[in-house]
């Protein structure tokens, strides 16, 4: 067993762990419903570690550990983690940026000179995707949802601008979505495949978040929008949709490797 410093982001869906060992940061995650398993793993792998926890389930997890951890505000931890990861990955985000944390829900924060301020959010996020996917297709497993969506075609479900301006040149990009799940004539005549429905769901989540965050970035004159959160875990389709839709409206999004661990990394950094 090795002594270590451990940062934990105990969220509504995942418990994300970042720990420093042998001079490098390592990562591990557990389902939030498996909190006892996460606590046991920490106990079995580390001897007298120093621990800092952030996230909505911080207090609950703290009670299950054999040591008294430090607890810090999730938003501050995430901002610090993003700045650290961006620097390590040579991603230029500047000192004036908006970060969008897409977890179970979505929280948006303006960061200026290292200080963050929560400026908005949305109930639309990864939890929306999980809930709607189950209600509409019966699929509960996140990985299966993402895999199936990658094989789907949104155009069998979503109404595009080019569909409305059929035979004419539209005044805006024809590839923009005119109405999510709005291709009602086709849907009513024949139910789309589950893969198409799931692809449309991810498109809906991504487009709504791009729209809200772009407006927020404009309001605060933020140079960059950084997207992080567990909803991007093994979900390249969501990232692709945000990149494509943001490009259509003239914004360049930034994604960080291991960005879903930003809160855990920030908690780790708080230990010094």
Strand residues in 40-181 grouped as ranges (E): 50-54, 70-71, 96-102, 106-112, 115-122, 159-160, 177-179
What 3-state class would DSSP assign to 265? helix
Annotation says 190 is catalytic: no
Number of CB atoms found within 10 A of residue 84's CB: 17
Annotated catalytic residue: which of 59, 63, 74, 185?
74
Q: Specify which residues 160 forms β-bridges with.
A: 177
Round to whole Å and give the CA distance between 71 and 270.
Answer: 10
Q: Which residues contact 58 (CB under 8 A, 6 or more apart)?
A: 8, 10, 71, 74
Residue 189 and residue 108 in contact, taking contact as beta carbons nearer than 8 Å: no
Catalytic site residues? Answer: 74
């Amino acid at each position: 067993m090795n002594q270590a410093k451990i940062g934990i982001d105990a969220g509504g869906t995942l418990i994300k762990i970042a720990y420093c060992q042998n001079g490098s940061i390592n990562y591990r995650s557990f389902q939030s419903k498996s909190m006892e398993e996460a606590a046991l793993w920490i106990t079995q792998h580390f001897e007298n570690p120093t621990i800092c926890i952030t996230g909505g389930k911080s207090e609950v997890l703290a009670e299950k550990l054999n040591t008294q951890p430090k607890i810090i505000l999730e938003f501050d931890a995430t901002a610090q983690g993003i700045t650290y990861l961006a620097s390590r990955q040579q991603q230029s985000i500047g000192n004036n940026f908006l970060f969008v944390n897409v977890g179970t829900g979505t929280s948006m924060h303006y960061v200026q000179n290292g200080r963050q301020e929560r400026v908005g959010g949305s109930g639309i996020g990864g939890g929306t995707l999980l809930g709607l996917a189950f209600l509409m297709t019966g699929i509960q497993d996140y990985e299966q949802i993402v895999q199936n969506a990658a094989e789907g075609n949104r155009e069998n479900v979503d109404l595009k601008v080019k569909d409305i301006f059929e035979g004419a040149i539209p005044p805006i990009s024809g590839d923009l979505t005119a109405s999510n799940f709005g291709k009602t004539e086709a849907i009513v005549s024949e139910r789309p495949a589950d893969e198409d429905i799931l692809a449309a769901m991810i498109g809906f989540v991504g487009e709504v978040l791009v729209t809200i965050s772009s407006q927020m970035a404009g309001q605060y004159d933020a140079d960059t929008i950084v997207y992080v959160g567990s909803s991007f875990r093994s979900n390249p389709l969501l990232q692709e949709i945000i990149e494509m839709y943001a490009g259509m409206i003239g914004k360049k999004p930034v994604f960080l490797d291991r960005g879903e661990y930003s809160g855990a990394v920030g908690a780790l950094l708080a230990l010094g």
